[in-house]
Amino acid sequence: MAKEILQKHDAEFAGRPIPDAVTAEKGYELAFPWLPTGRQWRKLRKIFNSHIFMAQKLDSLRHLRHDVVKTMVERVVEAQECGKAIYIGGIVFSTMMKLLSKMLFSADMLDPASDAMKELQVLNANIMVLVAKPNLADYFPFLRPFDPQGIRRKIRVSYDRLHELIDNMIDQRMKRRRATSERSGDLLDVLLDYTEHEEPDGLTRLDVKLLIVEIFIAGTDTSTSTVEWVMAELLHNPTILSKTKQELSEIITPGGIVQEQDIARLPYLTAVIKETMRMHQTSPLLLPHQAEQDVEIQGYTIPKHTRIWVNAWSISRDATYWEKPTCFMPERFLNVDIDFRGNDFRFTPFSAGRRICPGMNLAVRIVALIVVNLVKTFDWKLPNGMAPEDMDMTENFGVTLRKAEPLVAIPVRITT
């Protein structure tokens, strides 16, 4: 059925219902995830593909990813020397924020330890939690004006503050652009160049701000959650962690940061990441689709405007498609052609069809780079003498599947 919705009838189900919580964001109807697949959506998709997530563009920014991962490793070393435990999600979030701010603004937007970084993490989490919260206004439209659960009121505070932070960055850049013809060549400059184009190719300042907000929200939250789950599964399964380390010791030269180009030579590590994405689907319910017209599927008529949810979490744990689906078995991804690019509908962590996640190529690269360096550089111990089998692996469902009990572990640097 997922294949019918996401591939065979992709165009008919390309609509996107807008959750009531999202309407609290100024300009929400112009935000990329919620736009109908018309001219504006295609224009923004082209910008994503040409200037942000195209393979050649990502290759040219490889040095940025290596720099932020190197900084992350140095921060973990400092914590290790002080005997501190590490909150994995926190350090990955700040690493992703550093990477995205360098891509967008050619600078570190925030000190990882600053109050502003902590505020951004809270804002991001608030938005993701409130958007995912069951909302009566989504099912009984007559309740929308009343915001019966106060969700729209609560989320507006986070959206407004996030917009304020991005507005400040745009103001600083526009002031500099007026003072000099010199350009940074980063994404913000590319987007601001589009504001100087005439319609239909141009962008407004609001378009630019909404794109940046979406990149920060989607780019930090999903990758952070995925890395945290990978590390949790490795610590929960010591035998699999040993196999991963064995592969690294056989293939990677000791010392220094593992390079992105080395990851293609690490099939077992890649299988570990894929198996994590299967067991802990980043978006358990893919963002909803909506029928653009009456559609007949398998003898049933789906009326126009019907909302469709694809339960990717359930599919990825269905014994019809997976042997021992509740067991963490990376070997299932070895020597088989199962990818996550929307071609195999048993496994769609980034969705599929025209609504597939545009940031997939960046997410895959940075998740693997972070994981391989955390595993290669450090041994990890659970705090307070906890045994692996005693770890709490409970999932917290939302737009992003979070670990209910945040992963905290003690790094021990490996000496060579």
Classify the C-alpha dihedral 200-204-207-213 as positive or negative: positive
Residue recorded with tokens 């390309």: 14
Tokens linked to 82 = 């002080």
* Residues 46, 151: Cα–Cα separation, whole Å: 33
**Which of left, alpha, beta for 385 (phi over 0: left; psi -120 to 50: alpha)?**
left
CA angle 47, 49, 53 (to 5 degrees): 115
Give the up-direction half-sphere exposure of residue 284: CA atoms within 13 A in the CB hemisphere.
16
DSSP state of 342: S
* Residues 17, 243: Cα–Cα separation, whole Å: 44
| All residues at 6 or more sequence positions from 126 whose CB lies less than 8 Å from its CB, including other chains | 154, 155, 158
| All residues at 6 or more sequence positions from 256 whose CB lies less than 8 Å from its CB, including other chains | none
- Report which of 214, 156, 210, 158 is spatially closest to residue 24, judged by C-alpha positions: 156
Helices (H) and strands (E) in the chain, counts: 14, 9
Dmax over Cα atoms in the chain, in whole Å? 65
Classify the C-alpha dihedral 23-101-95-361 as positive or negative: positive
Reported in sequence order, the residue ranges of 268-394 that DSSP labels E, i.e. its strands, are 289-290, 295-297, 300-302, 307-308, 378-381
Asked whether residue 357 is marked as a ligand-binding residue, the answer is yes
> Is the distance from CB of 51 to CB of 190 less than 8 angstroms?
yes
Q: What is the DSSP string of 269-297?
A: HHHHHHHHHHHT-SSSBPPPEE-SS-EEE
Residue recorded with tokens 């942000």: 52
The burial of 23, by beta-carbon neighbours within 10 Å (0-12 exposed, 13-18 middle, 19 or more buried), is given as middle
The burial of 25, by beta-carbon neighbours within 10 Å (0-12 exposed, 13-18 middle, 19 or more buried), is given as buried
Residues in the annotated binding site for heme: 357
Residues in the annotated binding site: 357
